[in-house]
Amino acid sequence: MNKGAGQNFNNRFSGYIFLLVLGVILSSCSSSKKIRKQNVETVISTAKSYRGTPYRYGGTTRSGIDCSALIFHAYNSVGYQLPRTSAEQSKLGKKVSEQKLKKGDLVFFATSKKRRKVTHSGIVTEVSPRGVYFIHSSTSLGVTEDNLSNNYWNKSFRFGRRIL
Protein backbone atom coordinates (compact mmCIF):
# COMPACT_ATOMS: atom_id res chain seq x y z
CA MET A 1 0.00 0.00 0.00
CA ASN A 2 1.45 3.38 -0.93
CA LYS A 3 1.66 6.24 1.56
CA GLY A 4 -1.21 8.23 -0.06
CA ALA A 5 -3.61 5.26 0.02
CA GLY A 6 -2.81 4.55 3.67
CA GLN A 7 -3.38 8.20 4.60
CA ASN A 8 -6.72 8.18 2.71
CA PHE A 9 -7.80 5.00 4.53
CA ASN A 10 -6.87 6.50 7.92
CA ASN A 11 -8.86 9.68 7.18
CA ARG A 12 -11.93 7.67 6.11
CA PHE A 13 -11.57 5.34 9.10
CA SER A 14 -11.29 8.32 11.48
CA GLY A 15 -14.36 9.85 9.83
CA TYR A 16 -16.36 6.64 10.36
CA ILE A 17 -15.27 6.44 13.99
CA PHE A 18 -16.26 10.09 14.48
CA LEU A 19 -19.71 9.47 12.98
CA LEU A 20 -20.16 6.33 15.07
CA VAL A 21 -19.25 8.16 18.29
CA LEU A 22 -21.45 11.13 17.34
CA GLY A 23 -24.35 8.76 16.71
CA VAL A 24 -23.89 7.14 20.11
CA ILE A 25 -23.76 10.55 21.81
CA LEU A 26 -26.86 11.82 19.99
CA SER A 27 -28.84 8.66 20.67
CA SER A 28 -27.86 8.71 24.34
CA CYS A 29 -29.00 12.36 24.58
CA SER A 30 -32.28 11.37 22.99
CA SER A 31 -32.64 8.32 25.21
CA SER A 32 -31.71 10.31 28.34
CA LYS A 33 -34.50 12.79 27.51
CA LYS A 34 -36.86 9.84 27.09
CA ILE A 35 -35.71 8.35 30.42
CA ARG A 36 -36.18 11.74 32.14
CA LYS A 37 -39.70 12.01 30.74
CA GLN A 38 -40.54 8.45 31.88
CA ASN A 39 -39.08 9.14 35.34
CA VAL A 40 -41.02 12.40 35.65
CA GLU A 41 -44.27 10.66 34.71
CA THR A 42 -43.57 7.90 37.27
CA VAL A 43 -42.78 10.47 39.99
CA ILE A 44 -46.02 12.35 39.25
CA SER A 45 -48.20 9.23 39.03
CA THR A 46 -46.73 7.96 42.31
CA ALA A 47 -47.48 11.29 44.00
CA LYS A 48 -51.00 11.33 42.54
CA SER A 49 -51.61 7.83 43.91
CA TYR A 50 -51.54 9.48 47.36
CA ARG A 51 -54.41 11.89 46.50
CA GLY A 52 -56.85 12.11 49.36
CA THR A 53 -54.34 10.83 51.92
CA PRO A 54 -54.74 12.99 55.02
CA TYR A 55 -51.96 15.27 56.20
CA ARG A 56 -50.01 14.14 59.25
CA TYR A 57 -47.00 16.04 60.55
CA GLY A 58 -44.04 13.66 60.23
CA GLY A 59 -46.31 11.10 58.54
CA THR A 60 -44.83 8.79 55.94
CA THR A 61 -47.65 6.37 55.09
CA ARG A 62 -50.96 6.27 53.25
CA SER A 63 -52.76 6.68 56.56
CA GLY A 64 -51.13 10.12 56.94
CA ILE A 65 -48.30 11.89 55.13
CA ASP A 66 -46.57 15.25 55.16
CA CYS A 67 -45.31 17.22 52.15
CA SER A 68 -41.68 16.10 52.25
CA ALA A 69 -42.60 12.43 52.68
CA LEU A 70 -44.79 12.69 49.56
CA ILE A 71 -41.75 13.93 47.62
CA PHE A 72 -39.53 11.33 49.27
CA HIS A 73 -41.81 8.46 48.18
CA ALA A 74 -42.48 9.84 44.69
CA TYR A 75 -38.78 10.22 43.86
CA ASN A 76 -37.93 6.92 45.53
CA SER A 77 -40.21 5.27 42.93
CA VAL A 78 -37.55 6.03 40.30
CA GLY A 79 -34.57 5.21 42.49
CA TYR A 80 -33.73 8.66 43.88
CA GLN A 81 -32.99 8.73 47.60
CA LEU A 82 -33.88 12.20 48.82
CA PRO A 83 -33.58 13.58 52.34
CA ARG A 84 -36.72 13.39 54.46
CA THR A 85 -37.34 17.11 55.16
CA SER A 86 -38.36 19.97 52.88
CA ALA A 87 -35.50 22.12 54.14
CA GLU A 88 -32.93 19.46 53.18
CA GLN A 89 -34.67 18.65 49.88
CA SER A 90 -34.54 22.35 48.97
CA LYS A 91 -30.74 22.21 48.81
CA LEU A 92 -30.60 19.56 46.05
CA GLY A 93 -30.57 19.86 42.27
CA LYS A 94 -30.49 22.97 40.14
CA LYS A 95 -32.36 26.11 41.21
CA VAL A 96 -35.15 27.00 38.75
CA SER A 97 -37.08 30.26 38.47
CA GLU A 98 -40.87 30.23 38.51
CA GLN A 99 -40.95 31.02 34.77
CA LYS A 100 -38.80 27.98 33.91
CA LEU A 101 -40.55 25.33 36.00
CA LYS A 102 -41.22 21.98 34.33
CA LYS A 103 -43.19 18.89 35.26
CA GLY A 104 -41.38 16.97 37.98
CA ASP A 105 -39.61 20.01 39.43
CA LEU A 106 -39.87 20.58 43.15
CA VAL A 107 -41.39 23.81 44.47
CA PHE A 108 -40.61 25.24 47.89
CA PHE A 109 -42.53 27.64 50.08
CA ALA A 110 -42.06 29.68 53.24
CA THR A 111 -45.47 29.42 54.90
CA SER A 112 -44.54 30.48 58.43
CA LYS A 113 -43.77 33.89 59.86
CA LYS A 114 -40.13 33.29 58.97
CA ARG A 115 -40.59 34.28 55.32
CA ARG A 116 -37.17 33.01 54.24
CA LYS A 117 -37.23 29.53 55.83
CA VAL A 118 -38.52 26.68 53.65
CA THR A 119 -41.41 25.01 55.45
CA HIS A 120 -43.44 23.41 52.64
CA SER A 121 -42.88 21.68 49.30
CA GLY A 122 -44.58 20.10 46.32
CA ILE A 123 -44.01 18.54 42.89
CA VAL A 124 -44.95 20.32 39.65
CA THR A 125 -47.56 18.20 37.82
CA GLU A 126 -48.52 20.51 34.96
CA VAL A 127 -47.27 23.64 33.24
CA SER A 128 -49.81 25.13 30.84
CA PRO A 129 -51.36 28.46 29.86
CA ARG A 130 -53.72 27.90 32.83
CA GLY A 131 -50.75 27.98 35.21
CA VAL A 132 -48.28 25.86 37.10
CA TYR A 133 -49.96 23.09 39.09
CA PHE A 134 -48.27 21.19 41.87
CA ILE A 135 -49.17 18.29 44.14
CA HIS A 136 -48.47 18.51 47.85
CA SER A 137 -49.76 17.45 51.23
CA SER A 138 -51.75 20.36 52.62
CA THR A 139 -52.45 20.59 56.35
CA SER A 140 -56.14 21.24 55.69
CA LEU A 141 -56.88 19.08 52.61
CA GLY A 142 -54.26 16.32 52.65
CA VAL A 143 -52.67 15.38 49.34
CA THR A 144 -54.10 17.67 46.69
CA GLU A 145 -53.14 19.74 43.64
CA ASP A 146 -53.09 23.53 43.56
CA ASN A 147 -52.24 26.29 41.13
CA LEU A 148 -49.10 28.26 41.94
CA SER A 149 -50.96 31.43 40.91
CA ASN A 150 -53.30 30.96 43.90
CA ASN A 151 -52.70 34.05 46.05
CA TYR A 152 -51.62 32.10 49.15
CA TRP A 153 -49.12 29.91 47.31
CA ASN A 154 -47.82 32.69 45.10
CA LYS A 155 -47.02 34.90 48.10
CA SER A 156 -45.21 32.11 49.94
CA PHE A 157 -43.35 30.66 46.89
CA ARG A 158 -39.57 30.75 47.36
CA PHE A 159 -38.04 28.82 44.41
CA GLY A 160 -38.03 25.64 42.37
CA ARG A 161 -35.43 22.90 42.08
CA ARG A 162 -34.84 20.42 39.26
CA ILE A 163 -33.72 16.99 40.42
CA LEU A 164 -34.42 14.94 37.26
Active-site residues, by number, are 67, 120, 136
Nearest to 98 by CA among 131, 64, 69, 57: 131
| Cβ 136 vs Cβ 106: under 8 Å | no
| Cβ 142 vs Cβ 52: under 8 Å | yes
Backbone angles phi, psi at 136, to 5 degrees: -160, 170
Pairing of strands 94-96, 106-109: unpaired
Cα–Cα dist 91/20, whole Å: 39
Amino acid identity of 74?
A
According to DSSP, residue 161 is labeled: E
